[in-house]
Amino acid sequence: MEQLFERITLLSNGKYLLPYCNCLVLEDDITCLVDSSPHPQERPYLEGKKIELIVNSHGHSDHNSCNYMYPEAQVLLHPAEHERVASGEAYLIAYGYYFYPDEATRPFYLDAVQYHERPADGILTDGQRLSTGKIEFEVIALPGHSIGHCGFFFPQQDFVYTADINVGIKPIYAMLDSSVDDYLNSIERLRQLKAATLVGGHGPARYTENLDECLLQYRDEILSREERILQIVKAGVHDIPAIAEQGVCFSGRFPEPRSVYYMHECVMDLHHLERLERLGEVVCHEGQYYTR
């Protein structure tokens, strides 16, 4: 727990541990949570507080798993993410569980990520301005990680909560509605915003030094993956399951459980190949990818 700014507290233990995230508590005329999956060590700070508003950056359970604990709170979320927080089956479909089947882990996945169905009460839209009293902040659409992924810009404090655009952690875009192009555009949007501080959703939260350089390096990680995938196709590997075995997006080594992260790799490789096809670098024929 750390006091970031007046009335704004960060709940974070500084580590990248799933299914938890860094959360903000705004203690103002209205008490508001920005994302709601703090590590259990951080949860005592919330005890006895009346949470009236929850704004979620997106619909992944590691950012909203505690929403159900606050039935009286109003939960706001981008409309493209509403279905997956209301239905566990929709959540699995969005992650590709029926596109690249993983029969072994599918029955256990929702429990493992502490998924709880909790429909959203209202929507967030790009440019929407929210106020809890003295604190005002703006919704910044930052899609790519997921289709409705958002950040939140606090102009008075000059910082952005960037959720799953974490410049200290490798990019992830593992949902069927994720997009490499959108991710690159969202990084550029953060560069143009030029906020003094970025607060990420995982790991060490606060970034204040060399932010443009950090964002460029983060962007280049995505582009370097794409180049590696293109080279793999040129070398004669043409189908996504075989390409994914290289583990390009996970630096050649899959975390455990391997089957889940292999599935994520398949989806991320698919998005790169779709982009390469749009750029005219590859063609797809009956699910096989070839260079032109």
pTM of the model: 0.96
Residues of the chain within CATH 3.60.15.10 domain(s) are: 2-216
pLDDT tens column, 221-272:
999 999 999 999 999 999 999 999 999 999 999 999 999 999 999 999 999 9
Residue 68 has a pLDDT of: 97
Q: What is the mean pLDDT of residues 282-290?
A: 96
Q: 3-state secondary structure string, the chain?
A: CEEEECCEEEECCCCCCCCCCCEEEEECCCEEEECCCCCCCCHHHHCCCCCCEEECCCCCHHHHCCHHHCCCCEEEECHHHHHHHHCHHHHHHHCCCCCCCCCCCHHHHHHHCCCCCCCCCEECCCCCEEECCCCEEEEEECCCCCCCCEEEEECCCCEEEEECCCCCCCCCCCCCCCCHHHHHHHHHHHHHHCCCEEEECCCCCEECCCHHHHHHHHHHHHHHHHHHHHHHHHCCCCEHHHHHCCCHHHCCCCCCCHHHHHHHHHHHHHHHHHHHHHCCCEEEECCEEEEC
pLDDT tens column, 19-36:
999 999 999 999 999 999
Task: Enter the CATH code of domain 2-216.
Answer: 3.60.15.10
pLDDT band, very low/low/confident/very high, at 60 (cuts 50, 70, 90): very high
